[in-house]
Amino acid sequence: MINTSKIALISIISVCLTLTGCSGDSSSSGSGTLNLNITDAPVDSAAKVVVSFSGVTIKPENDSAYDIDFVDADGNPLTKTIDLLNLQGPASEPLLINQTLNAGHYNWMRLKVVGDKNSTTSYIELDDGSEHPLYVPSGNQTGLKLNQGFDISDGGAISFTIDFDLRKSVIAPSNNSTAYKLKPTLRIIDNENMGHISGIVGANTLNDVSCPAQQSNSVYVFTGENVTPDDIDGLDAEPVSTALLSDTFNYSVGFLDAGVYTITFTCQVNDDDIETDDVINFIGTSNVTVTAGSTTTFNFD
């Protein structure tokens, strides 16, 4: 069973970026800048979840798509490798920093992922120490595409964070394969309009009569007010994010658009198979308001 907590990554390496294959000017004059960060919700049954990126592809509305490839100081191709299990909490690691783009509308962007089912360029390391390839089917050709458009104004700047929800994305091997699939489940958040939720889960909730002897604890967050919580199955209400508890029973959910959310707790997350409709019990369901630029504290009793 794959469980998740909300984690993110802090930048420790400066990455040199360059535009390659640019096909022409945007329909609008002038230019602005794009900042692109990445965060994720990883698997707790793994020691590492490593994803390698070679760049980003961006599609202007009235022009051909072009690549922003990562290169080192000498102009050589550079792969940026991120272990998604390094850190927890509302942090992120930048993929693009003050990247100049022509002003105008852009239809989509695509993360260029390196790795296939026969290599460990991107990989998952399990708790037993074994390493397995982690790949996006057709990823070398299509990457991880985000269809949400955005606008760059002349002299403006915009910053996004891409939420890599691994709980919904990592698929265990099948048909005698040892490779794990990375099914693209991504969410893009405007950094100017996002906030976080954090808190602690108290003894009354942890000791609820519905909780088994071997608990598997997680906080689920759903978009909207008074949502009836459900498991992750792709059918009914789906959590926008989940978070495992720390050793001190704290949790943190980062990068949520400002607004009202339904938050709840389950001690049966190991019974939540993302590919089936499961019956799990939720405790302490409440509404929480997220404000842009701040962290909302919500504690379960």
Least confident of 12-26, 70-84, 190-204, 218-232: 12-26
Tens digits of per-residue pLDDT, 250-274? Answer: 999 988 999 999 999 999 988 888 7
pTM: 0.77
Closest listed residue to residue 69, CA positions, set 105, 117, 26, 16: 16
Q: Could you give phi then psi for residue 54, rounded to 5 degrees?
A: -110, -10
pLDDT tier at 218 (50, 70, 90 boundaries)?
very high
pLDDT tier at 275 (50, 70, 90 boundaries)?
confident
Residue 27 has pLDDT above 60, yes or no: no
Q: Which amino acid is at 39?
A: T
- What residue ranges define each of the domains in the chain, with the CATH number in brackets? 7-184 (no CATH), 194-297 (2.60.40.1120)
Tens digits of per-residue pLDDT, 155-198? Answer: 999 898 888 776 677 777 877 788 888 776 678 888 899 999 99
Task: Provide the percentage of residues in the chain whose pLDDT is more than 70.
Answer: 82
pLDDT tier at 95 (50, 70, 90 boundaries)?
confident
pLDDT of residue 184: 62
pLDDT tier at 57 (50, 70, 90 boundaries)?
very high
Averaged pLDDT score across all residues of the chain: 81
Token readout for 112 is 């260029």
Closest listed residue to residue 126, CA positions, set 50, 232, 53: 50
CB 134 within 8 A of CB 49: yes
Q: What is the chain's length?
A: 301
Beta bridge partners of 171: 181
pLDDT tier at 3 (50, 70, 90 boundaries)?
very low
Classified as helix, coil or strand, 139 is helix
Give the HSE-up count for residue 124: Cα atoms under 13 Å, Cβ half-sphere.
23
CB 243 within 8 A of CB 270: no
Residue 234 has pLDDT above 60, yes or no: yes
